[in-house]
Structures are given as C-alpha cells and as structure tokens.
Amino acid sequence: MASGSAHSGAAGDDVGLVLVQDIDASPAAVWECLTEPACFRSWWRETVEFEPRLGGHLLEPWTDADGVEHLTRAEVTAYHPPHGLVMVWADADWGFDTVVSVSLEPLADGARVTIEHQGWQAAPEADCAALLLDHRNGWSHHLSRLTDHAHEHDARRKGH
C-alpha cells in the first residue's frame, strides 16, 4: 500500500506544503518510527537529535550539495501521541520560522502520515519558490524512507 501524494498551495495568505503518505504498517509501528529516537535516526539521519515531547527539540546538522554545512532546528510545540505533533522549524541561517505538523491516521490496512509545512510567506520572496521545492523534495525523500523503515519495523514487531 505505499502510496502518497504531495502538493504545495496557498491557504489564505499562507504558502505551504502538504504531503500525504499511506504506509503498509500498523499505526503503532509508524508512531514508534516517528518518535523513538533510535528508530527515528534509522530512517531520517544518524546525526539528528530529536526529543519527541512537548518542548523537545530537533537538531539536524546537514551538508548541502555544494558542501555547505547547515543546522536545522525545531521545537515541539504540540504533542499528541499517537496522533501527531507540531514543531516550529527553521534553519539556523533563516531570519524566519516555519511550522511543521505531522499527523498520523489509522487506516484499515496501515497508517496515513500527513506532513504540513506552513509559514513560507515569511521567507524572502526571492528565496520562497526554491525553499518550497527543496523542502517538498526533502519531505518526499524522508517520507519514502519512513515508509520503507516502518514496514520493516512493523514486521520485526510482529516477529517476521
């Protein structure tokens, strides 16, 4: 069942991304992959630090294609296990914040993960389109890795 879709659009005056991924794994396994730090690092990136709790932080050092080092930071501002979480999200060199919402919905044969990344209207106008494209590609990559890892994680949980 690994299906998904992504779109970017406007809601009022807020430009954002919405990505939806159906995953052939139990909602419990997907939630563990989203919130257990060791499981999270397995599909996201080994260098990420994540505290999945209200007030927790995400710190992700990464290097872009040109070899430039960056640091993404986020703070968890809402935490509703096992349904979702919200984070204020920004790269260290941005002069603005965005908001990432992650929601998890049970399906008859798996789980649906929805990522909403809003607040891009605060980005410099000259950079907004490139940032949206980069983040849509990045979120799509991470959701694909989550899909594969959650399926394997769920099979291990079930003893397969």
Q: Is residue 5 part of a domain?
A: no
C-alpha dihedral sign at 78, 79, 83, 87: positive
Which residue segment(s) compose the domain that 111 sits in? 26-159
* Per-residue pLDDT, 3: 52
Strand residues in the chain grouped as ranges (E): 3-11, 14-23, 49-50, 57-63, 69-80, 84-91, 98-107, 110-118
Answer whether residue 1 is part of any domain: no
The total of structural domains in the chain comes to 1
The answer to whether residue 61 is domain-embedded is: yes
Residue 7: inside a domain = no
What is the per-residue pLDDT for 12? 38
Residue 158 is predicted with a pLDDT of 80
Q: Which residues of the chain have pLDDT under 50?
A: 1, 6-13
Is the dihedral angle over the CA atoms 58, 158, 147, 23 positive or is it negative? negative
pLDDT at residue 57 in the model: 98
Question: Which CATH number is 132's domain given?
Answer: 3.30.530.20
Maximum CA extent, the chain: 51
